Every structure is written in C-alpha cells, then in structure tokens.
C-alpha cells in the first residue's frame, strides 16, 4: 500500500470518528450550557451556587486535564469509560461551562421591563423564561456560542491523547510510519480548516435567519 492510499484511508476513518464525536458533543454542550446559564440567573440560592461552582471549576481546568481525569482518574474509582465517551464528556463539560457565560450575559441583557410585564399578566416564571426571555437571549448569545462550536471542532484533536482514532490520531499514526510531516500535517490542517469554514458559514446563515431588524438596538452595552 502506498503512502497516499494508507494516509487517505486512515484519514477518512479518522474524519468519520471526529464527525461522530462532534455530532454528540456540539448539541449536548449547547443544551447543557443553556441550562446552566438559566440556573445562574434564575436558579435561586442553591441553583446559582451549584451552577457557578460548576463554571468556576471547569473554566479553570484545561481540557487536556479534564480528558485525563475522565479516562484515567475515573478508572481509579471504578468508573471505566471508553476513550470515545471520556473525550466526549470532557469536551461537553468544558465547553458548556464557557457557553453558559454567553447565555447568562445575554439573559441579563434583556430589558427587565419585559419580565415585569410578564409578571403583571400572571405568567409563570417558567413560561416567561422559555417563551419571552430565552428566545431573545439566544439570539444575543449565538455569536459567542458559535465561536465555542468552532473551538470544539479544534478541541476534538486532543481526543487522540486518550486513544480516540480521530483525524489527528490518524495523522500521527501515518507520520510515524512514513515520516512525511509536511504532507501529513498540511492535509490534516486543511481538513480542520474545511470543517471550521463550513461550520462558520452555517452559523452565519443561522444568525441571518434569526436576525430581527432593530433587535440589536435593544441590547445593553
């Protein structure tokens, strides 16, 4: 088998694994980030404390350290995760902590008068949050969440540390046999560039679709 045959074969498999990883981590991290962001504003004393502690811890942990804890640390106490799920959980946990900050600040940016109007109509707090505040807040938070999604695509390359056979793992494996770092890592970089470019394009289209004329003028600086 020639260099390019082996490289493209392993790279194709690695790309599939990376896409599978992102298919799980992106939606779950966004959902968890939104829930934590809501708790940090509306969670009451206990909810706010727990949510803020979660963010404080996992914004302070490097992703690489969290990966090690998920795969090796948990194994020491009898919780054994596969490399795939150790990587997925580490990425979800770390990314959701950052995304919750965007959600929290966007919720706080919504005019308090809307909340008061909802209360005057007898609206429940949960209804107010999910039907009035959150739809507006997520429009404000979308650029920040989008940036975090781009970072997640790049963070996925760290999954090779715990043995996930993703794109970067395939590149290292082929380079260790053929010793062609220029070809191997240039092509690998171009694949990541293509993935982030497509994600950026999709996020821009989503922002445009959700954009409401004049909405940005109601944001607080």
CA distance 181 to 165: 18
User: HSE-up of 86 (CA within 13 Å, CB side)?
Assistant: 24
Residue with tokens 């959600």: 103
pLDDT digit of tens for each residue in the chain (221 aa)?
A: 799 999 999 999 999 999 999 999 999 999 999 999 999 999 989 999 999 999 999 999 999 999 999 999 999 999 999 999 999 999 999 999 999 999 999 999 888 888 888 888 888 888 888 888 999 999 999 999 999 999 999 999 999 999 999 999 999 999 999 999 999 999 999 999 999 999 999 999 998 888 776 655 444 43
**Phi and psi angles of residue 85, each rounded to the nearest 5 degrees, phi first:** -75, -30
> Tokens in use for 141?
């938070």
Q: Is the entire prediction scored with pTM above 0.75? A: yes
Structural domains of the chain in order of their starting residue, each with its CATH number = 9-215 (1.10.3720.10)
Furthest-apart CA atoms within the chain: distance in Å: 73
CA distance 174 to 185: 10
Write out 206-217 in H/E/C secondary structure: HHHHHCCCCHHH
């Amino acid at each position: 088998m020639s260099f390019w045959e082996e490289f493209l074969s392993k790279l194709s498999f690695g790309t599939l694994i990376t896409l599978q990883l992102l298919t799980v981590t992106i939606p779950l991290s966004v959902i968890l980030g939104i829930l934590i962001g809501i708790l940090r504003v509306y969670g009451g004393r206990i909810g706010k404390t727990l949510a803020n502690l979660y963010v404080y811890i996992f914004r302070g942990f490097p992703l690489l350290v969290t990966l090690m804890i998920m795969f090796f640390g948990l194994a020491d106490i009898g919780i054994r995760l596969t490399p795939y799920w150790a990587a997925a959980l580490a990425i979800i946990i770390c990314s959701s902590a950052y995304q919750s900050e965007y959600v929290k600040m966007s919720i706080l940016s919504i005019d308090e008068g809307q909340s008061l109007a909802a209360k005057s109509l007898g609206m429940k707090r949960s209804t107010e949050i999910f039907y009035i505040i959150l739809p507006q807040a997520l429009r404000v938070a979308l650029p920040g969440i989008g940036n975090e999604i781009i970072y997640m695509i790049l963070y996925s390359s760290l999954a090779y540390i715990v043995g996930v056979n993703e794109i970067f793992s395939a590149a290292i494996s082929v380079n260790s046999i053929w010793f062609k770092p220029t070809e191997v890592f240039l092509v690998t970089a171009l694949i990541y560039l293509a993935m982030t470019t497509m994600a950026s394009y999709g996020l821009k289209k989503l922002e445009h679709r959700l954009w409401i004329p004049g909405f940005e003028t109601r944001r607080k600086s």
